[in-house]
Amino acid sequence: MGKLMALILLGAGLALVGERFLTLRERMNAYREVESVESQNCHLIEGIENGSEDIDILPSGLAFISNGLKYPGMPDLAPDEPGRIFLMDLNEQNPRVQELNIGDGFDKASFNPHGMSTFIDKDQTVYLYVVNHPHMDSTVEIFKFEEQQRSLVYLKTIKHELLKSVNDIVVLGPEQFYATRDHYFTNFFLVLLELFMDLRWTQVLFYSPKEVKVVARGFSSANGITISLDKKYIYVADVSDKNIHVMKIHDNWDLTQLKVIQLDTLVDNLTVDPDTGDILAGCHPNAIKLLMYNTEDPPGSEALRIRNALSEKPMISTMYANNGSVLQGSSVASVYRGKLLIGTVFHKALYCEL
């Protein structure tokens, strides 16, 4: 009887593992092959070779580009190089990137930039907030941008016990932001278990000097985050659930979910078109190819535009798609006056004229 019970339990356990494995492959779009949607007016940006994970464009047309992310489970083409921030002036006829010098007082050797967000003060001073993973920890670094010197002045590092596994942020005011937490656990093996079991324990956090709290929860893996042009709504990408959550901002900074926009691709970072308010999404058509990197069969790239996000039937169109022959592992898409930038987790970056 004992042997029979053991066999039953073993069979049930194997069945659960098999079901979870098949479900995970489906969630990761393991069998999807992307169909190319490309323009002749696109070219790779010279000088960016090992990632451009997030891009934030100022109203003036100056684009900040993060570079050199080292993230567990992701390919890393330059493991010995620290992260950097590049600047690109989209007002130029032939824009080029320039590395921004980071001033004294900041540990540049351990710089590992992830998501970014800018804030412009009343006196027009520009501040750049960067999610950083020094030694695989999570902090938020605050810099002041010196436009004439093309440099960043280090101001402050923000750490908090709730700010773990931070992926992206959107700044609301001085030292005030929403942040996504893409994993509940920080141990790599527990992260794998979390992904395998789809625990849905990840969150959106609100941070201010006076209060830090969870304002939304229940995501499979909360990733990119941005804010609507009218500052009334927050858009949150759930990368492994392949959707975008539209959330209303309350006076106390809590968030209420209004709707979910379901997609057929894994959504990474989000930006908003400053002219139309459309959501732009950098996406992974097949995440298995990203997690199990093979130069002979690389991960593709996909950039989507979502129009009328608050309507019953948002309009979804593909701005760019490639099978990895040109651009691998797209993570963000951002526009400025007819110019499109597409960044990647670990690869290159693309410039297009629409």
Cβ atoms of 27 and 240 closer than 8 Å? yes
Cβ atoms of 111 and 83 closer than 8 Å? yes
Active-site annotation holder among 114, 183, 245, 284: 114
Could you give the CA distance from residue 49 to residue 60 in angstroms, rounded to a whole number? 26
Using the structure block, give the residue that is written with the tokens 């830090």: 212
End-to-end CA distance of the chain: 70
List binding-site positions for Ca(2+). Answer: 53-54, 167-168, 223, 268-269
- To the query of whether residue 114 is one of the catalytic residues in this protein, the response is yes
Residues assigned a catalytic role: 114
